[in-house]
Amino acid sequence: MNSEQLRIFCMSLPGVHEGIKWEHDLCYMVAEKMFCVTGLEEGAAVSLKVGDDEFEELCERDGISPAPYLARNKWVMIEKRSALKPKEWEHYIRQSYELIKSKLPKKVREVLG
């Protein structure tokens, strides 16, 4: 998945907006909570939150490691974009979005649908 495909998919999810944090990280957010973080340059690593049961399995793959500073919250860093197939990218991005959205206040979740 290239950067434009990543952007299109993330922005297609309800209530998502993008912003720059830490001067060089592009963050996709729902209600100001990050669910996907990448660099501004093409091919930059991508960090996502994953389910507890998938964290260890993904970290064993070549090109995927625990995300710095966020690993304790089950975030992975995908350093080689080829480490995931296109359908896997969609699954893990959507899952990250849903995991973050599920922690939002009920009223916010209702607005998002």
CATH number of the 3-107 domain:
3.90.1150.30
> 66 phi and psi, to 5 degrees?
-60, 135
- Cα separation of 45 and 39, whole Å? 7
Mean pLDDT of the chain: 94
pTM attached to this predicted model: 0.93
Per-residue confidence (pLDDT) for residue 100, from 0 to 100: 96
> 19 phi and psi, to 5 degrees?
-160, 165
Per-residue confidence (pLDDT) for residue 37, from 0 to 100: 97
Q: What's the 3-state SS for 39-71?
A: ECCCCCCEEEECCHHHHHHHHCCCCEEECCCCH
Confidence check: pLDDT of 87 > 80: yes
**pLDDT tier for residue 109 given thresholds of 50, 70 and 90:** confident
Write out pLDDT tens, residues 33-69.
999 999 999 889 999 999 999 999 999 999 999 999 8
